[in-house]
Amino acid sequence: MKVAVRTLCEFAARHGDLDFRYTPAPTSEEGIAGHQAIQAKRGYGYKSEYSLTGNCMELKLSGRADGYHPHKNRLEEIKTHRGDVSRIRPHQRALHRAQLRAYGALLCRQENRKSVELALVYYDTGRDKETVLTETARADELWQELETVCRLYKDWAEQEEHHREQRDALLATLTFPFPDFRPRQRQLAETVYKNSVKAGTLLLEAPTGLGKTLGTLFPALMAMPAAKHDRLFYLTCRNTARQLALDAVDKLRAAQDELQPWPLRTLELVSKDDACEHPDKACHGESCPLAKGFFDRLPDARAEAVQSKEPLNQQNLAKIAAGHDICPYFLAQEMARWSDLVIADVNRMFDQSALLHGLIRQNNWQASVLVDEAHNLVDRARGMYSVQLEQQRLLKLKKIAPKPVKAALDRTARAWQALIRDHGEQAQPVFLATLPPQLLGALQAMVSVITDYLADNPPDLALQEVMFESVAFMKLADSFGDHSLCEFQRTGRGRASLTIQNLVPADFLTERFKAAHAVLLFSATLSPGVYYRDLLGLPEDARFTSLPSPFSAEQLQVQFTPGISTRQVHRESSLQPIAELIARQYRERPGHYLAFFSSFKYAKEVSDTLSQQAPDIPQRAQQPGMSPEQRRQFLAEFQKPEGSVAFAVLGGVFSEGIDLPGDQLIGAFVATLGLPPFDAWHEILKGRLQQRFGEGYNYTYLIPGLQKVAQAAGRVIRTPDDRGVIWLIDDRFLQPGVNRLLPRWWFSGPG
């Protein structure tokens, strides 16, 4: 069994506290230059990047020490840093020393030495200063230590190998948890299985009612042995979808032979805010009791977690963490390395510092990636690769900043003022063709000064916040191109902002998709597939498949209104006919209806008109900023026998992701095409998408809008027994270019 010394030590030789306090660190370029500077000083006979190999406890170990001087019998490990060396965290030092002593054991065996001088060299790149910690160690004691570490790793690795064999045996014969598939669900499962085994990238449009969660998880799990997949990641855009995936795993588990083990480790990753037990404390051992001694107690917690017969959802993992007095959030981060199925938000794979993408690269995994509700990924990814700077934060910091950094802050403040002089007279946002060089230069210098200051002084949270915000901005500034837009806006004195807004996430996501072995993106609304392929950066050979709906047009009446326009200029004249239409439909068939509009204002105007015309028809309305409890109460009303018309905003929380089968919802009115506003931002987006893909209007306005319409209308028919009506209220729905983008099953029988 092959293992790198660094991997070995990271697993078995970490000790001490969890510590996420900021410590200044060199850039990767500075780190490389620092290593080279030290190595160049060592003189004749010194061997850089010294390769070491050896066998210990049936493990084939390999590594590369930073330097070895045979004449001095001195082995070096170089670590670059910035600032006072005493601020390097104890758990980091312990890991550095363990790695050096492991190298020392291999060197003594490889070079037949009875002892060796070990030098841990800490090099401050900012001051060109070395701090050298030396010790002389005997070969026998080093080897004894190495055997202890290797035994821990070997026992774990053998356990993992046995687990993999059991897991693959289970998955190869996985049983579907119901006597029969739903209509079209077998076709869904077969499509997913083939894509996994063939290592494909597939956009799969699977209409509502197929049972997509179970219908994708079951075949993807079953394909893991044949596809030789190490891990399966089920990624969602909503927290509630994670629970649906966990429920599907529970159903699969319940369907298996009770006498057989269930060797499938399922992990739910939640946000730090949701997992944290002490939100009022900082993430280090001097503040949080669950960070104190974290790495000392991690092995036992990890061992319990991998032996757990229950899925490692948020509650179960928190229980294990509590039993060992460690942080549940960082226990989950560790368990992501050892879990077969990880259920998480899409940001864990696609954002700039995504955990799962990092683990794929680090471990060379073959991973299968499923993305639920993938129609949301374009907007989610745009947010992941956008960043904003605020002038006000800098001005507040200037008032309290320590003297050594004031000059750098003043320079940045002057750069802001220059930007305001050039662009700040307008009340509307200003879109810049390039990033302002004066401000970028000032930010870079400011970050350097703050970093040097923090290297030698106690932590300063206000300084750190401004520095982190600036670093995030500069990181995206380095890759700025036609995929993004720079927006400047001034909203008042001392209140200006500069934003890098991503327009085309494809440039950032392409490498993420390439890292996966098989990719499935699925949703009820993924047409046209080329739109998602282009904007998400999927490979050219990515396929698109649309499965026939299990429902028929007889279940759904789709009604058009050729005489009504909801365009802005016709908004006022539309109120009366829309209210009349809603009243007529409700009286013909009383029950629960949703009425979707482009804004809260428009919805209220129609609601008020309906109240005047038909005060007997019960009404209620979505309100801006509803709390989770208010949302639950709003949805609970649909379960009452008394009907009502519920007014909502298209694209809001009630237009997708809610399930109202049977008589809970018998109809929907959609009084908008869902088109984004025709403002300067969207017009620039249209121009960029036209230039790049030749589909400016469709990609900017029509497809995103009609996707919202289809999602909202999809709330009406949820089961084969449902019957309902959809009113598409705008004459443009009858235009061929619009009509062709609506779901085909609305107008024909089941496929």
Label residues 402-412 b or e (16+ Cβ within 10 Å = b): eeebeebbebb
Q: Render pLDDT for 191-222 as a digit per residue (tens, 0 to 9).
A: 999 999 999 999 999 988 788 999 999 999 99
Reported confidence tier of residue 751, pLDDT bands at 50, 70, 90: very low
Contacts of residue 322, defined as CB under 8 A and 6 or more positions apart, other chains included, come to 277, 328
Task: Average the pLDDT over each of 468-477, 490-499, 601-610, 675-684 and give the range with the smallest value.
Answer: 490-499
Mean pLDDT across 437-466: 92
Q: Render pLDDT for 103-122 as a digit per residue (tens, 0 to 9).
A: 999 999 999 999 999 999 99
Q: Render pLDDT for 398-436 as a digit per residue (tens, 0 to 9).
A: 999 999 999 999 999 999 999 999 987 777 899 998 999
- Chain mean pLDDT for the chain: 94
Q: Render pLDDT for 223-280 as a digit per residue (tens, 0 to 9).
A: 999 999 999 999 999 888 999 999 999 999 999 877 678 999 999 999 999 999 999 9
Which of 719 and 31 is assigned the larger pLDDT?
31
Q: DSSP string covering 665-694, please?
A: --EEEE-S--PPP-SHHHHHHHHHHHHHHS
Query: 592: left (phi > 0), else alpha (psi -120 to 50), else beta?
Result: beta
Reported confidence tier of residue 471, pLDDT bands at 50, 70, 90: very high
Write out the H or E segment, with its range, that includes residue 318: helix 314-323
- Map out the domains of the chain with their CATH numbers: 2-154 (3.90.320.10), 173-269+351-372+505-547 (3.40.50.300), 275-335 (no CATH), 387-502 (1.10.275.40), 553-746 (3.40.50.300)
Q: Render pLDDT for 510-564 as a digit per residue (tens, 0 to 9).
A: 999 999 999 999 999 999 999 999 999 999 999 999 998 888 778 889 999 999 9
Q: Render pLDDT for 354-364 as a digit per residue (tens, 0 to 9).
A: 999 999 999 99
> In whole angstroms, what is the distance from residue 216 CA to residue 522 CA?
9
Would you say 327 and 295 are in contact if contact means Cβ atoms under 8 Å apart? no
Would you say 66 and 5 are in contact if contact means Cβ atoms under 8 Å apart? no
CB burial of residue 471 (10 Å; 0-12, 13-18, 19+): middle
Reported confidence tier of residue 685, pLDDT bands at 50, 70, 90: very high
Spell out the SS3 assignment of 22-54. CCCCCCHHHHHHHHHHHHHHCCCCCEEEEEEEE
Query: pTM, whole model, 2 decimals?
Result: 0.93
Mean pLDDT across 184-188: 92
pLDDT of residue 131: 96
